[in-house]
Amino acid sequence: MLIPLYTEFLSKEDYGLLATLLFTTEIIITINDVGMRSAIMRFFSEYNLNNKLNELIGSSTFINILSGIVLVIFASFIPEEYLSKLFQVSVLNNVILLTILVGIARSLSLNILSYFRAKGLGNAYMYISIASSVVLVITTWYVLQNSNWGINGVLYAQIFSYGLMWLFVILWIYKKTELKSIFLHQKCYSNLDIH
């Protein structure tokens, strides 16, 4: 669905670089995931039976964010000259940073969507995936149509779309009270006057 937008608004060189960067995000997703999606699916029923699902969701999200921070720090040490040789075009560090952030946002959104798969909520999974795709197409079109950001705009649109979907699902789970206990326990512990 996005290819017509890319070919309309990006040069051939930018389109080729974007294709390479989006392929790179797939590798980043695999690295950033560190097995969390499999862990959610594997341990969901056990944690659900013990009313500790909030711990599983919270810890997998924390680990994903932590591994994303490590990836960003690691990438900040890669020289631009090496990246330009690797991609065979001039690549700026901000494009690499945005590519990593796209991978992190997608990894977080895919992992939180595992909640719906494990819970057997296929319709919710499908509706959220479709809504996320629609938001992605609209934001990509808007950014490409109304700015001169080029590849950066496409990457910003992806970060926004996948981040918004992740936030929506986290809030949906919170509303369903499964994550409320995390915040309530934190509030209770902070209210205790332990000397």
Residue 192 confidence (pLDDT) above 60: no
pLDDT band at 43 (very low <50, low <70, confident <90, very high): confident
> In angstroms, what CA-CA distances link 32 with 149, 179, 185?
26, 23, 28
Backbone region of residue 38 per phi and psi (left: phi > 0; alpha: psi in -120 to 50; beta: other values) = alpha
109 SS3 class: helix
Which of the 8 DSSP states describes residue 194? -
Rounded-to-10 torsion of CA 77, 149, 6, 127: 80
Q: Mean pLDDT of all residues in the chain?
A: 82
Structure-token pair, residue 160: 């926004």
pLDDT band at 92 (very low <50, low <70, confident <90, very high): low
Q: What is the pLDDT of residue 21?
A: 87
Q: What is the pLDDT of residue 91?
A: 61
Among 92-106, 155-169, 174-188, the range scoring the smallest mean pLDDT is 174-188
